[in-house]
Structure 1
Amino acid sequence: MESLQEISQYLCRDARLDLKVIALEYILGVTATVDGRELLLKLPEILKQLVILVQDSSIPIRKDAILTLVNITGDESGTNAMLIISESSNSIKEQEYSLNLIEVCLRIIMDKSSTLADPCCMILSNMTRPLYLVDRIIALIEQSGYTWDTIVAAFTAKQYNTTGAKLHYLGPVFSNLSQSSHVRRYLMDRDRCVIQRLLAFTEYSDSIIRRGGVIGTLKNCTFDTENHIWLLSPEVDLLSYLLLPLAGPEEFDDEDNDKLPINLQYLPETKTREPDPDIRLMLLETLNQLCATKVAREILREKNTYIILRELHKWEKDKSCLLACENVVDILIKTEEEIGLDNLKEVDVPSEYTKKFDKISKDFINNT
């Protein structure tokens, strides 16, 4: 602790560059361990200095400060500490350098010439992960001077950053933030066409991070049952983008093919399924969410969702995905008379049954 406090004097922005480099490299090394990160959290002045150093004139200093903060925000306790500092920055207007890490990261991300945009995206991904912090971070984003539209535009641009930064980690950021109904309302604003701009990334082969983040965002959007009809309408065509990654090269007869969404008809022999089981699970869970309402269930049946899931089930090896696939199929093969409810989310399941069902699912997944 004492050595860290002594090093703090060399982290000041007016310190000699060579001393600053050595001190920051030491701090970066400290954050490589859980104990080191916990020790740093007891020294909020160093945490503040790190945010200031992200804005330093020296690129190596900025880089090491950002990487240090990536490590710190990887822990929930670190995210909490940096969020408190960011919020306190709002009342400190006279400072030359901002202590608001959210605003600083956004400024770097939105700078097309920044070489440090990607690690800043990672910081935001880390900080938005705890659900109970999301609303506070949304408030800071909306106070930053950058609009949701400009952030989405940067993420969905073919190559926004001129230095080669990819901004893939904005995918998990949107996934985390879309846990908030406030952000979901923006994403599904029918006059903005935001969600439609994300759909193409459900099969984005260059980055599992971006692909998973977008699919997580789509999954969160399906929690609002009042939007199911719109999401499944030709205006959005969400079902096509959920089923295509789950579809393989299987051939179907003309009758079955004609019932499928147009993008899933007569797929080539080279068609492959989503390789990541966690992403396949999210896709199946999203379909399950869409099965909540009668009108959506009827659309899924009409679009022959069953035959895609039937073939997936034959191919699937992951037990969590198998169970999720069976859950959707079990609903789709039932008649609405058998289901007897318009909205399955309105069913009040007693807690003892919920625990029992959870145990059955876990036993199935763990049974080898």
Structure 2
Amino acid sequence: MSGFDFAILTEIVSFLDNSRPDVCVEATTALVASLQVDDGLQVRSNCAHYLENEVPKKLCSLISNPCVSEIEGKKINPSWPMKVLLGSLDALGSMVGEGGEMVAEAACECGVVGRVGEVIMEYSHTSKRGVEAADKILDSCCRLLANLCRSECGCTAILDKEGVLAKLINEFESPAADCWDRFQHVATVLMNVTQVERGRKVLLKISDGFLDKVTPSLTANNSVRRAGIAGAIRNVCFEKDSSWWLIHEKKIVDVICYPLCGPEGFDMDDKIGMTPNMWMEGPDKKREPDADTRKLLVEAILLLCATGRKNREKLRELKVYPIVKTLDLSEESEEVSNKISECVQFLMRDEEGCERIEGEMLAIEPEQTSVDVMEPAGRVKPMKPEDWDAVD
């Protein structure tokens, strides 16, 4: 859809107040489609119109109360509230993802994080594990929060709800083996909240142990988990005051370097001081396959290199140089190779008499990302009355 008719938009918005769940589902689907436009300015113009119609407020209301229990004395099938809830989450997630700070502020004012937190508490219950609709709802909750915290106000809203964030991390730490990875985008949430200093402090807080809970996902089969956690680790490496603790106490260098090692192996001299995990698997060792994730990890090393001479000496002891040098020999991404070159300049520099300001070589900012919510869909097509009786 290359443009959008505001008359159609107004019609779609009017259906959000309809008591029939099938109409609400079609309306939320059409809202997602309305954001799939080519012109970014048009997207924001559409979002401005949404705000005038208080759509974020309506969607938040649907999230809390997705469906009436009956219409004209006829009981509603229990599956419809879940469909309305899923549609509302996806529509609001699309709005926040495309509309930027403006829509994020409107959603936060409506208390979206608290409402989504209630949904997560309900649908993550063990009795609902493996239920496909529940899996989709929880995935949409995490996608919505991931897009919301691309903005500063969204980060603040999520960090203010400590219980919600703790619940997300605990569920992320122990994914159910019998169902789809519905909490995969918690990694994206963590990557985004660590854009800000407060988010980095939360992840690094020793008493909560959040860092220990999430770092194992750096070697998970799920690529979304790996990329998000790589971004979060990279972002916390901006905290220079925590660098010694990260390197010496949390052994973060081993966590970062393990995915960067491949099957090539190392010379005997290089193995001295290197953690054995880096080479013990031999030719069976698999390197992180995603170039963007590798880039995030190399940038994390680069940030640690910039935290001071003592830390660089520790990185040299851990043989970070041969690790990144070996990585570069097989690296196909020019961006990753450029970052490796910057690391090498730090690791091979002459420290004696060097008065350069630490970090002057870096041109890195905290990383964030977004997630798509749904594919484009058609405009609202309410069901006919005769079809309503057959709705399951």
1:4 aligns with 2:9: yes
Q: What corresponds to 2:48 in structure 1? A: 41
Give the superposition deviation at 1:119.
1.2
Give the superposition deviation at 1:230.
1.0
Tell me, yes or no, if the aligned pair for 1:117 and 1:167 is still in contact at 8 Å: yes
Q: What value does the CA root-mean-square deviation take over the aligned residues?
A: 2.6
Distance 1:190 1:28 in 2: 40
Q: What corresponds to 1:328 in structure 2? A: 343
Q: What corresponds to 1:220 in structure 2? A: 235
Q: What corresponds to 1:171 in structure 2? A: 187
Distance 2:141 2:354 in 1: 48
Question: Which has the higher relative contact order, 1 or 2, with Cα contacts under 8 A spaced 6 or more apart?
Answer: 2
2:166 to 149, 152, 172: 149
Distance 1:309 1:36 in 2: 42
1:32 aligns with 2:36: yes
Q: Secondary structure at the match of 1:272?
A: coil
Q: What corresponds to 1:102 in structure 2? A: 113
TM-score, normalization by structure 1: 0.80
Tell me, yes or no, if the aligned pair for 1:102 and 1:124 is still in contact at 8 Å: yes
Q: What corresponds to 1:284 in structure 2? A: 298
Distance 1:250 1:6 in 2: 61
1:162-199, Cα deviation, whole Å (9 max, x unpaired): 86452111111111111221121222223332212222
Distance 1:4 1:49 in 2: 15
TM-score, normalization by structure 2: 0.76
Q: Secondary structure at the match of 2:183?
A: coil
Q: What corresponds to 2:283 in structure 1? A: 269
Tell me, yes or no, if the aligned pair for 1:109 and 1:118 is still in contact at 8 Å: no
Q: Secondary structure at the match of 1:266?
A: coil
Higher mean C-alpha displacement, 244-253 vs 278-287: 244-253
Q: What corresponds to 2:268 in structure 1? A: 254
1:158 aligns with 2:163: no
Tell me, yes or no, if the aligned pair for 2:47 and 2:103 is still in contact at 8 Å: no
Give the superposition deviation at 1:333.
1.4
Tell me, yes or no, if the aligned pair for 1:31 and 1:68 is still in contact at 8 Å: no
Tell me, yes or no, if the aligned pair for 1:203 and 1:245 is still in contact at 8 Å: yes
Q: Secondary structure at the match of 2:283?
A: coil
Distance 1:106 1:299 in 2: 42
Give 1:187-202 correspondences, 5 Å limit.
Answer: 187-202=203-218
Q: Secondary structure at the match of 2:163?
A: coil
Tell me, yes or no, if the aligned pair for 1:37 and 1:72 is still in contact at 8 Å: no
1:297 to 277, 295, 312: 312
Distance 1:61 1:37 in 2: 25
Distance 2:187 2:170 in 1: 13
Letter in 1 for 2:331: E
Give the superposition deviation at 1:297.
0.3
Distance 1:179 1:3, change over 3 A: closer
1:192-218, Cα deviation, whole Å (9 max, x unpaired): 32212222122222x221111111111
Q: Secondary structure at the match of 1:32?
A: coil
Q: Secondary structure at the match of 2:199?
A: helix
Distance 2:324 2:347 in 1: 10
Distance 1:289 1:203 in 2: 21
Distance 1:81 1:61 in 2: 25
Q: What corresponds to 2:95 in structure 1? A: 72
Q: What corresponds to 1:53 in structure 2? A: 62
Q: Secondary structure at the match of 1:15?
A: coil
User: What is the number of equivalent residue pairs in this alignment?
Assistant: 328
| Structure 2 runs not aligned, ≥5 long | 1-5, 68-80, 129-133, 364-392
Distance 2:96 2:286 in 1: 36
Counting aligned pairs with the same residue, the percent is 23
